[in-house]
Structure 1
Amino acid sequence: MRDESSFPAVFVVVAVALAGGVAFLYYKRGAPEPVVEAPPAQTAPVTPGAGNPATLPTTQKESTADGPQDPVAALANAGVGVASANPADLVTKIGAALEAGDFSALGKLIGKDALDEATRNRLAELAAGGHQVKLRQPDAVQEVGELELGSRARWALWLDGAEAGRDRIFFDLKRTADKWSVQAVTLPPGEGQPVPKAVLVDSLGIADAFLQAALRQQFELAKEFADTSSVSDAKIAGLCILFEEGNYRLRPDKPLRAMFQKEDTAGYIARVVTSKGADAAEFSLTLQQPQHNGNWRVSDINLDQLLADYASRVAGGDVYYSPLVKNPKGGDTLVLYFGFNEDQLAPRTQRQLEIVAQILKTDVNKQLTISGHTDALGTEEYNKKLSARRAEIVKNFLVKTGVREDQVITVASGQSQPRRPNFTASGEDNPEGRRANRRSEIYLDFD
């Protein structure tokens, strides 16, 4: 076969979605509870004004004449709470007081309205036995997102070296007269208590948990937070790979912005940056809550802007190298591209397939179909064989990583299913169209 233009094999993919209302509930959907792990340390620090709240100031532990203060008693005497023009500064001061064990200052900063008895007791537990609470350094302070546009927001303190799922303290802040104060505190579960998949099961909590899972390529966990009837496995797997391949991270400021909040529907804009902290792109998540107050789920993800940024920065600007295409059977399909007469996998494609392999190895009952394709140059017989080799090379790689052979089905489609025209309307060669047709497609048939 004779193909024009060589282009490294690029594998791509996409995925995603999520949304709002606040309650400290355990999110259960059967089987042992997986956990959301802490995001990578590269997350850019929050920088309000001139300072960096991610590096917390130290304060002295307050004592009385009879010895160290009693945490429960100190918190019970909390006042109305501190209001601050800068929410990051407020959360930074709370973190400093917590690290110093200064519960009197902690209570004054948070305020009595957000410190019910259970919260006071759990805060005291964190300092029980003389153990000093430590926060992650740097980047201890993180903005999670907006609960209501411009009026309510969620922030978090990352605990240092904490067990996954017990890693963050959440603060819901309310804005009144241009100043922010603590409205609610949500603490990680205590020792011996079950670790929830998502500590906060309102729409923002589910959206955050979904994105944190995708950032770590935790496909199975991310899927728990999605409505699989409207968000395909391929989209979720694709989002995991996009985050990895594009080196994306959530923005440190307003990473999730509220678009709308309704009783059973919510929308957010997710904003990402590059590994160097430069603004990259944004995409939207829609979440829905089933009737009878069921768990919120990500029901739709619009990745157009993220894909455009990916094509510009990672795929050399070639818009025809879309990592995700619609499958005739429904849903989305992951796509691997090949260059001139190629049937070998590039290093980048191999890294992406390793994520697909992890998905398959979590459940031997999962099965996927790989179809090989070519452009229209060359004979049909040659193209049929070339497409078979392209499908088999993908299967062989997955099997070498530990996937069972019976989990992978291959199909040789030859030149019969072009994604774009191989020739122009006047009958001339169309290299750009043919480039998009040299591919293998991965259909994740998991349900």
Structure 2
Amino acid sequence: MNEPIEPDRPDALASPEGPSEGEIPDISPQSPKSRWAALEVLWVALRLGLTSFGGPIAHLGYFREEYVLQRRWLDETSYADVVALCQFLPGPASSQVGIAVGYIRSGMAGGLAAWIGFTLPSALALMLFAYGVEEFDVIDAGWLHGLKLAAVAVVAQAVWGMGRNLALDRDRATIVIVAAVAALAWQSAIMQVLIILVSGFVGWKILKVDAVQSSKDSLSTFIPKWMGIVALVVFFVILAGLPLARQLESSHTLAIFDSFFRSGSLVFGGGHVVLPLLQSEVVGPGWMTNAEFVAGYGATQAVPGPLFTFSAYLGAVISPGPQGVVGGGLALVAIFLPSFLLITGVLPFWDLLRRRDVFRRALNGVNAAVVGLLLAALYNPVWTSAVETPEDFALAISALGLLMFWKTPPWMVVSLAAGGGAAIAYT
């Protein structure tokens, strides 16, 4: 996954180019400028979706440059608070930041525009890749095997980076190890949910937390509290109701929507962390093979935008199911819908939640657990389905070195790995 997202101190974020402290543009839905604000949000987010390589940490840097320094849609302190909020929620943190900024700029329409713009480019690219996999049977091509080896390097780097930041002491390191062992011993989506819940409880009981950073600006005025309550109720009703509906109605479409909605609802940290849960949801029931799964994940590293658009590839490949554009769109909407509902529901109450130490302690336990889940996923399915020969290992470790020590952009590493895989296939 990603390394933890830690907003800098507001005073450290301050820049002479940005707005003065406490100065927020008139961005309410009643503002005259809000007429075209949603279209402006869509255009800016689309440009970011086409150019934002490097994963969630890099995305936050792009967002700050565009939304805070250049366009001044919100001030530094408000941006830091939004980042902190999204760090606490399950789902893709960088995408949630974009959605929240869209809300702040132009209400619900702005949030939707921000998501469409940032997500659409990579989602379309991955559905096109899925079409190639299905129509031309390229799953065994050498270059595609290179993508699988690139995924080994990307996930290994994520495990290392997350471990350094989220398992800083013996207690959290122990949670990491126990979570990894449990995930490998009992490979199921239910087990992963239990690991997350138990780790949150353990974190609440034994872990310590630093003082919560205060902010002078409130984020609770952008969405009415009644709307937040409705959104949270809808979220929990869908989360609890979909499994029950699957018991009553044998529908592959319903099963796919349930699997992806649950994945988007229960994964903390986003990005690479969703890998093990998605793997158990789509490979476990036999909807696709491990090779198809890992190949798509490797391709995801070569496109800009959020890593959760991996779901568009999965939905397009899953069989039985709608497949194609319909299947990809269904999975994409299902995995991102929890983010919309949670951002809408929690944002009005964030000022209260962020002061609760119990909430932060539990989240520290959850974060340690997801490192363990990702460590387990590094072995199975990523390693077991990609590294088969000494040449494979050499290519994977070379890709890891380029990422970690040479700081090579991920898209370039993925391209080189694909070329290396093709070369190995012809030797």
Same structural fold, with TM-score higher than 0.5 when normalized by the shorter chain = no
- Tell me which protein shows more strand as a share of its residues: 1
- Tell me which protein shows more helix as a share of its residues: 2
TM-score scaled by length of structure 1: 0.24
